[in-house]
Structure 1
């Protein structure tokens, strides 16, 4: 945890740029810039591209957004999820996060908007958020390729769920100790006498995926062992099934498997059963999340519990503190817990 530092809403904003400066940089009139900012279609493609480029280069925030930040006149905040709808509605992790955020926001004077913005096609979500429609945002499940979230963070106070992929001094985030969680999961397999370990990771474009893999390697290194196989399962059931199929087809012999999410682990159990491999007799499995999936499969999953509901509440608390002019910590790290069941 880092020491507290004084933060105000103005810290989160770049020095103001005028609409006239944007017009000059784009080589268009002030009225053209105004039309672009207000979403008008009465602008040529060339002018639209020039204005957007100038807005990006100058980091221009429309005046009404700045007024909204100063007065909190909209009394609305956004939860931004840079994922497709299939992943969002299919992963229990998001249900817990949203429940935690909503639990806290519903007790405040703010309303919560949900923005699902995979790659944000045509910058629709970005422009909506930067227009002053909300006073602040919580961003979860971001990837290294999600550059559009930088434009959102430049326009308003933002709190990230998980360590930002491009961490900056003015970023605020609430994360789970995924390195320790990955280490504990792997150590449990070692303590069960398993020595040929494989892992199915989340996306290595996400800090959470990277950190759980780091914990896996740290535990193996400390035991003087090397992994038998590592495959990316992308945090989805289909990805987990495909990843374990690749491991089986490779001929790798493994007696322990750390799967970086319960959603993937449930699918892995199905594939191992189809292959005639017993769990935990032949292969012990440890999942991650302690989601409802962990107790809906057989054998029930040994897993690493991450406090997703609490994470949502804390993120909402930090954003509300920022919007009220308070001074929250930049970094908050929550602990995980090993939950032992039947699979390992």
Structure 2
């Protein structure tokens, strides 16, 4: 999508006013510039000493542009690789206002970075951090805990898959019904009487008419709230733990979080009085940078998956 032949230095200078106003997660930018040896320890300390993000961004841009073309190129590469966090969300709703006062808001940094002509140096982005070190460390802790929970579940249910003691297992297709759109599954629904029905009868109303192939890994890629329903013993809990296992084993560059809540442990959950209590006291507490991790979770809710195991 590259569409410019400007030098990296000129490209950074041309968007300075927009970068100063809209650049996010400055710690990610600074940490990666430090890892790429653009910034020294002293420069990092000077940037961190600034009280406001506006001043931090100005100092970052001043330092990068003074160092010349190579530093600006590395800066642009970092922005390109980490754009989901450093540039925020893309605009989903087009601008409708035509007044001159909204002209500045129409500058899209996502389009801007996409138009820069990068070299064929894909190896450069392998070690780039998507978040601060405390955030990555917290992700590692969550994955370790998810792996432990999943392993304990499969060990406890190992007898179910013993060849010498294999029970008569039945399976049902996993169907994702997207509410408000035409779905091939077309779940059968009842209207007013549904709420008055017994649980077994309610579950029968969700028998799929069509069953497209959907795997646990597919569910991890969805960006919607999912309610998993089915008869007792059909494998809802197994599917949940398989998703935990897949996420824990997934080796990707993106910084994301998964939180598993077992509603059978309601005493701990009900005691939580804030988001911080719910995540850090009930699930897992960061080893360092608690406030930084909490802010990253709040600002990047799109990168969070919550699995809630019901009482049944």
- Greater CA radius of gyration, 1 or 2? 2
Report the TM-score, using the length of structure 1 for normalisation.
0.27
Larger helix fraction of residues = 2
Report the TM-score, using the length of structure 2 for normalisation.
0.29
Larger strand fraction of residues = 1
